[in-house]
């Protein structure tokens, strides 16, 4: 099971945007190098003045107080420019806009003619962030703060397609590079004998390629994203060789803005995890089993479907689908969507396999979607406020207002109802769930709404002012939705429903969420929602996580996995405390009393940082976290054995899920562990450990910003 936060732009588009990047090769500047030959005249650009606000150096508290954040973008990235000139940058701009929206901030944009000018704006305190594909170099790190890298890539020597290269020629190549770009830093450090002719600072990758075609004696350097994007539509240039195999690209901030940097890093890390877990595929059940792939359930975060309770993932839909997955030997992942439209979109895009979200199987929907047989029945009810005029019949609806989302099956019910009664029907914001609409009825913001009987049974447990005066429809079927091209999955779901519906197991699960009054109240009180704490140790975790550049929500997820937030927890192997370290390991790090929450959290985070540092920085950020977690659980040696075995099996040694984790499981078998340096490993433990922490973490980031 994996939890994914639905991202506003589809993952496919985001990946395309990453590939169509200008990177910092087009227009970056770096003051690390002096001119070697000459500076060519600037290429013409659109005339636009730079509107820089008054200089000020501020951090996150001031940004939140003012309600706006200042950022810079290139003149050629304005909306009026050609799409090709801005596609890479648009990825970063869209991502930055998501960050601002998440924190309810308005962006104040400043336009710059070159990255050199952009860096001057940041250094002088005129902007807060440079949100773009910006190469981290030593000289820049002295001037600015950098976020967690958004990408780790390579730099290539490139040339005219017809240019023949002699190995002896590599000693003294002639290059054209954007003046003071990060590529100049590469040449200065690694190839000082190469001669460089400078292009203007606002030269983009396209212009560099044009220069190579114009004069075949010259070479240049471009990062892999830029060159791959050019090669998608150009045949007149080519890659020659890698000249730098580990470039990190990130956003830049003012040097002293530590709290802003922390907030940006939390967002970027969450984005990395969500993005990395969004694989497109449309396999049917048999192929999923053959490839040992997870079953991906698309649902919504609500008290009747799927939610976080204490540290556990629970919900009626979740428990049923978990049992189905287990019966077929599959791991369950959860894809969380915000709206009905998003659920359908995720299914159609191959980002999930089945929608299990308490959706009505209506005649209209059946014409467009593929439904299972019904697994539940509900009634549709009018929800009203007891303090308003009483409703005893349809005639009493006259002059009243019913508010429902248009995408809801209740909308069709309300339209049918209008043929029998006079009332105003208002379309609610699609982001307002029925749960929230019921809350608005309860506090008087909304007159009436419609709910199913399951959700109402939960909401009435803790709301004093709501009641259901009218039942509009009875025995409405709820069903699962699959793709039409996945008939075996649909058949298996139908078989599961036939076998389980109204059995003892089914009734126990249903009563747990919709009938047991005491449990419903506990779920409500302890459900993790926006604004609530994850544990009583949040402040300690945030402090220590920031020190080692971890997302505090990830550490909290790991802490729950280790100890269920119990400071006195002790394992059979002798591990102690919230983070379950062995006393000897803690002692080596300088910690002693592991029953003390501060000590245990400090020791655990420091040890996780130690394991993370054991893996190459060329490995993607989220993958290093997965490897670090696996090493925390099973030891560095076993993880490295699994990486080596993955290579032998033609799996990727730099990816955890469906690659190194598969090798880790094989280290339980004699034919594999006898050849491993560190021998036998009970691989199911680290595999489950990493997956469960990742699932919980993704659930946390979908709820807590």
- Domains of the chain, residue spans: 153-250, 339-527, 538-703
pLDDT of residue 605: 97
Segments of the chain scoring below 70 in pLDDT: 1-57, 75-90, 201-202, 233, 275-278, 310-311, 519-528
Q: What pLDDT is attached to residue 133? A: 82
d(CA 117, CA 42): 14
3-state helix, strand, coil split of the chain in percent (to 5) is 45, 20, 35
What pLDDT is attached to residue 523?
65
Report how far residue 91's alpha carbon sits from residue 9's, in angstroms, rounded to the nearest whole number: 10
Tokens 């971890």 belong to 550
Angle between helices 538-547 and 552-563 (to 10 degrees): 120
Specify the pTM.
0.58
For residue 411, report the phi and psi dihedrals to the nearest 5 degrees: -65, -45
Rounded to an integer, what distance in angstroms lies between the CA atom of residue 372 and that of residue 314?
22
Pick the CATH number of 538-703 from 3.90.1300.10, 3.30.420.10, 1.10.530.10, 3.40.50.1220: 1.10.530.10
What is the structure's pLDDT at 28?
38
Q: What distance in Å separates the CA atoms of residue 253 and residue 118, rounded to the nearest whole number?
A: 11
Residue 415 has a pLDDT of: 95
Closest by alpha carbon to 109, among 133, 129, 124? 129
CATH fold for the domain made of 153-250: D-Maltodextrin-Binding Protein; domain 2 (3.40.190)
Residue ranges of E strands in 430-519: 449-452, 466-467, 471-482
Lookup: tokens for 559: 């802490």
Eight-state DSSP code of residue 454: H
Q: What is the DSSP letter of 196?
A: E
* CATH architecture for residues 339-527: 3-Layer(aba) Sandwich (3.40)
- The region that residue 294 occupies, defined by phi over 0 for left and psi between -120 and 50 for alpha, beta otherwise, is beta
Q: Give the model's pLDDT for residue 149.
A: 87
Beta carbons of 420 and 331 less than 8 angstroms apart: no
Distance CA 299, CA 183 (A): 46
Cα 652–chain centre separation: 22
pLDDT at 182: 86
Token duo for residue 301 = 């975060």
At 90 the pLDDT is 67
Report CA torsion sign: 514, 517, 518, 524. Answer: positive
CA distance 357 to 306: 8
What one-character-per-residue DSSP string does 534-597 give?
A: S-TTHHHHHHHHHHTT--HHHHHHHHHHHHTT-TT-B-TT--BTTTTB-HHHHHHTT---TTSH
Instruction: Tell me the pLDDT tens digit for each residue of 165-198.
Output: 777 788 889 999 988 788 888 998 889 999 999 8
The β-bridge partners of 473 are: 380
Model pLDDT, residue 460? 87
Q: What angle do CA 115, 258, 247 make, to 5 degrees?
A: 45
Helix (H) / strand (E) element for 332: namely strand 332-336
The neighbouring-strand residues paired with 238 are: 159
What's the pLDDT at 105? 94
pLDDT at 311: 62
């Amino acid at each position: 099971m994996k939890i994914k936060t639905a991202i506003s732009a589809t993952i496919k588009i985001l990946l395309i945007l990453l590939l169509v990047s200008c990177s910092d090769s087009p227009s970056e500047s770096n003051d690390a190098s002096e001119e070697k030959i000459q500076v060519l005249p600037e290429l013409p650009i659109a005339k636009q003045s730079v509107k820089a606000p008054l200089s000020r150096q501020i951090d996150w508290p001031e940004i939140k107080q003012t309600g706006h954040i200042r950022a810079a973008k290139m003149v050629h990235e304005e909306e009026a420019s050609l799409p090709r000139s801005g596609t890479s940058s648009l990825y970063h701009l869209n991502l930055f806009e998501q960050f601002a929206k998440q924190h309810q901030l308005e962006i104040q944009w400043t336009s710059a003619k070159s990255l050199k000018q952009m860096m001057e704006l940041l250094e002088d305190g005129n902007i807060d962030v440079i949100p773009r594909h910006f190469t981290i170099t030593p000289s820049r790190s002295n001037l600015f703060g950098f976020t967690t890298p958004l990408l780790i890539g390579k730099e290539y020597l490139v040339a005219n397609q017809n240019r023949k290269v002699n190995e002896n020629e590599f000693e003294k190549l002639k290059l054209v590079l954007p003046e003071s770009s990060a590529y100049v830093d590469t040449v200065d450090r690694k190839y000082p004998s190469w001669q460089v002719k400078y292009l203007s600072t606002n030269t983009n990758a396209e212009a560099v390629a044009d220069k190579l075609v114009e004069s075949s004696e010259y070479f240049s350097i471009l990062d892999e994203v830029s060159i791959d994007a050019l090669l998608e539509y150009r045949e007149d240039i080519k890659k020659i060789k890698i000249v730098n195999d580990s470039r990190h690209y990130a956003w830049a901030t003012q040097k002293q803005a530590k709290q802003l940097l922390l907030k940006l890093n939390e967002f970027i890390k969450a984005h990395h995890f969500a993005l990395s877990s969004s694989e497109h595929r449309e396999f049917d059940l048999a192929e999923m089993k053959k490839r040992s792939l997870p079953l991906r359930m698309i649902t919504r975060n609500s008290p009747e479907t799927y939610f976080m309770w204490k540290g556990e993932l629970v919900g009626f839909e979740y428990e049923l689908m978990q049992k189905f997955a287990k019966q077929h030997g599959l791991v369950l992942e959860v894809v969380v969507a915000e709206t009905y439209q998003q659920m359908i979109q995720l299914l159609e895009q191959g980002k999930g396999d089945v929608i299990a979200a308490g959706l009505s199987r209506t005649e209209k929907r059946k014409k467009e979607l593929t439904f299972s047989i019904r697994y539940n029945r509900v009634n549709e009810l009018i929800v009203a406020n007891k303090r308003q005029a009483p409703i005893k019949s349809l005639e009493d609806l006259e002059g009243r207002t019913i508010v429902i989302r248009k995408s809801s099956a209740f909308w069709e019910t309300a339209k049918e109802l209008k043929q029998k009664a006079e009332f105003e029907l208002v379309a609610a914001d699609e982001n307002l769930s029925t749960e929230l609409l019921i809350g608005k009825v309860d506090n008087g913001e909304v007159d009436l709404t419609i709910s199913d009987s399951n959700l109402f049974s939960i909401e009435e447990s803790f709301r004093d002012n709501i009641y259901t005066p009218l039942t509009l429809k009875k025995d409405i079927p709820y069903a699962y939705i699959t793709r039409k091209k996945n008939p075996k999955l649909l058949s298996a779901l139908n078989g599961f429903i036939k076998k389980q519906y109204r059995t003892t197991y089914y009734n126990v699960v249903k009563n747990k969420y919709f009938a047991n009054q005491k449990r419903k109240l506990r779920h409500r009180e302890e459900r993790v929602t926006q604004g609530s704490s994850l544990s009583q140790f949040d402040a300690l975790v945030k402090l220590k996580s920031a020190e080692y550049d971890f997302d505090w929500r990830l550490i909290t997820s790991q802490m729950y996995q280790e100890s269920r937030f119990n400071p006195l927890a002790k394992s059979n192997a002798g591990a102690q405390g919230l983070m379950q370290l062995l006393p000897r390991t803690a002692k080596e790090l300088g910690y002693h009393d592991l029953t003390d929450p501060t000590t245990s959290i400090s020791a655990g985070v420091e040890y996780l940082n130690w394991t993370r540092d054991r893996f190459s920085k060329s490995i993607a950020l989220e993958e290093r976290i997965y490897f670090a977690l696996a090493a925390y659980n099973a030891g560095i040696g076993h993880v490295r054995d699994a990486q080596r075995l993955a290579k032998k099996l033609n799996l990727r040694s730099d990816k955890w899920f469906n690659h190194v984790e598969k090798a880790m499981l094989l280290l339980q078998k004699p034919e594999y562990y006898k050849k491993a340096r560190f021998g036998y490993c009970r691989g199911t433990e680290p595999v489950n450990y990493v997956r469960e922490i990742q699932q919980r973490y993704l659930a946390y980031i979908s709820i807590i910003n």
